[in-house]
Structure 1
Amino acid sequence: MSQSQHKDCFGTMFPDNLHLRNNQQNKGKVFSVWISQLEGAVLPVRSDRSIKTDIEQWDKCKECPEFDSCYKLNLAKVALESAITTQ
């Protein structure tokens, strides 16, 4: 299946981990990340991190015929993003 045949949401379950913003919701189609950073601190201090899952959207994704391929792409992107951020 070529890229033009995939749905627009293909590969977007997770937020872009390379460009997470502090003190706001970083949304993917299913998963969202919140990172709190104390404002005005001398050094950047992250005080809270959380992940939210949109179960309704997850259920819709699981019904999609492209779910397995999309999920694998998402996991590959997360693995690569994790490798890059540790460099």
Structure 2
Amino acid sequence: MASETHKACYGEMFPDPLHRENDRRLKGKVFGYLLSTGGGFIRNDRNVTADIAEWDDCRQCPEFVHCYQLCIGKLALQGAIIDE
């Protein structure tokens, strides 16, 4: 089976939720999040962002559909194992 060459951002729309850090914005190509503690140990806020310019860039890419499918697959697996 031949290997395709993909753009460097392929499969990277979302940040990795398995290696989350409090009080630090984590960002994928399009989506990001911030888990705030206010300086303590208890999480007191969550914020999710989407970079619309990057989303528009992704939507114009000929690999968008299968890249998005890969991103969602990775996110589903990460969600399944996040508390293991």
TM-score over 0.5 for the pair: yes
Aligned pairs for 1:6-85 (under 5 A) are 6-39=6-39, 41=40, 44-85=41-82
Give me the whole-angstrom Cα distance separating, in 2, the residues matched to 1:27 and 1:63.
20
Shift of 1:13: 0.2
The alignment-based identity, stated in percent, is 46
Gaps of 5+ in 2: none
CA RMSD of superposed structures (Å): 1.3
Shift of 1:85: 1.1
Q: Name the amino acid aligned to 2:3.
A: S
Give me the whole-angstrom Cα distance separating, in 2, the residues matched to 1:19 and 1:78.
13
Gaps of 5+ in 1: none
Q: Which runs of 4+ in 1 moved over 4 A?
A: none
Task: State the TM-score, normalizing by the size of structure 2.
Answer: 0.91
Task: State the TM-score, normalizing by the size of structure 1.
Answer: 0.88
Q: Number of aligned residue pairs: give it.
A: 83
SS of structure 2 residue aligned to 1:46: coil
